[in-house]
């Protein structure tokens, strides 16, 4: 039996061999532990050498250029001012909405109606269901660790 060299196994790992050679190499692997070891070494070598960067400086520059392009520099000249304006605009917007709503509700007497609805809801809502909900929550909380313990024991 003719053993293969490390270089030969490298060509096999890199998939640089033709179909006939590949089959021959594979058959040899089944029969030969010695070559299996060399083959595994070849795989290891191939894995460590796989991400080859031929031009490290150019590679870094390329990535930096990509990051620069991602930055929306043209849109915002001063991020701090932009954020402040955004927040101010938001606050004003919410204040206006709130003021408008309050005015509307006051003038249409919806506040009065809302109060009635809330009181109705409080009277009608069964207190037990809330308690049940809390009980369920508590039980599920207690049950969960037991469940995991059971699974761990199995």
Q: Does 3 bind Zn ion (CB under 5 A)?
A: yes
Interface pattern 13-52 for Zn ion (x via CB under 5 A): -------------------x--x-----------------
Q: Given the complex with Zn ion, which of 35 and 42 has the nearer CB atom?
A: 35
CB distance 36 to 6 below 8 Å: no
- Min dist CB 44 to Zn ion, Å, is 18
Q: Given the complex with Zn ion, which of 32 and 105 has the nearer CB atom?
A: 32
DSSP calls for 75-118: T-S-HHHHHHHHHHHHHHHHHHHHHHHHHHHHHHTHHHHHHHHH
Expressed in percent and rounded to 5, the helix, strand and coil fractions of the chain are 80, 0, 20
CB distance 13 to 19 below 8 Å: no
Q: Given the complex with Zn ion, which of 3 and 86 has the nearer CB atom?
A: 3
Tokens of 95: 């204040």
- Min dist CB 3 to Zn ion, Å, is 4
Q: Given the complex with Zn ion, which of 31 and 57 has the nearer CB atom?
A: 31
Q: Given the complex with Zn ion, which of 1 and 67 has the nearer CB atom?
A: 1
- Min dist CB 37 to Zn ion, Å, is 9
- Min dist CB 18 to Zn ion, Å, is 19
Q: What separation in angstroms does the CA of 33 have from each of 26, 38, 115?
A: 12, 9, 85
Residues that bind Zn ion (CB under 5 A): 3, 32, 35
């Amino acid at each position: 039996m003719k053993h293969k060299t490390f270089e030969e196994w490298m060509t096999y790992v890199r998939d640089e061999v033709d179909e006939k050679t590949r089959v021959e190499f594979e058959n040899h692997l089944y029969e030969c532990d010695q070559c299996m070891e060399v083959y595994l070494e070849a795989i290891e070598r191939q894995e460590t050498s796989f991400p080859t960067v031929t031009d490290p400086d150019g590679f870094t520059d390329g990535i930096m250029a990509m990051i620069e392009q991602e930055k929306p520099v043209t849109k915002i000249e001063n991020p701090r001012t932009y954020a402040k304006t955004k927040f101010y605009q938001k606050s004003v917007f919410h204040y206006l909405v709130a003021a408008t709503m309050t005015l509307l509700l006051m003038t249409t007497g919806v506040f009065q109606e809302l109060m009635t609805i809330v009181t109705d809801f409080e009277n009608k809502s069964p207190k037990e269901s809330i308690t049940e909900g809390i009980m369920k929550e508590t039980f599920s909380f207690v049950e969960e660790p037991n469940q995991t313990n059971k699974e761990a024991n199995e």
